[in-house]
Structure 1
Amino acid sequence: DELGLQPNAALWFFDPEANEWYLLFAAPEVTTKGPREVYAKIREVIEQLGEKASAAPFSVVSLLDPNDELVRLLQGAVRTGPGINRVRFSKNVINGHFIDDALIYRIA
């Protein structure tokens, strides 16, 4: 938020096919400014955090359009509001889509 990004969604999402966790962000800036600029801002934050961010390498960060299907599905099931929260969402089906595991910080 401090860098001017207004993410609609921020969450860890587990992809069982890849057996990998991804840190997902959905923000209007992905569409309006382009993913390259948004990735640059996220990289700034990771560098500022230093050791605190070492558990989340930049390679696991993914950007989504706010209208992405996953974002819309989660918005239909969970709403955290604009603040930062911590909602575990595991082994759920939304409109026929199985969500294995997610740790949602924001979905607005």
Structure 2
Amino acid sequence: MTTDGVEAVFLETHNWGKAAKFFQALGFDLEFSTDHNSGQLRNGDGPYVFIAEIPEDREPGVQIVLKVTDADAFRPDPAVEVVTPFEDTHFGTREMTVRDPDGRLWSLQAPAKK
């Protein structure tokens, strides 16, 4: 089984409010915000964008998350280095981390077990 495209883009920012307004100006709708300066936006049926505010002393990062329909059925090709197998997350999904040939880490996200 392979991945099913891009699930999400996770962005870190120094200013949640400005970042959210930027994406809203580009046509994204705010799906929800949290009480700790983060939230999720979406434009149409495509991947969602989750933005989280971080302290000024940290460099903002970006992470692209690939979609997996069924974590239990997913069997990565031996050419894919698995860093961490699928684990439950605190936000109700299952996540796996893999490393590409250039050393970048990628997250694969699947629905939580039913």
Fold shared by both chains (TM-score > 0.5): no
**Structure with greater helix share of residues:** 1
- Which one has more relative contact order, counting CA pairs under 8 Å at least 6 apart? 1
**Structure with greater strand share of residues:** 2
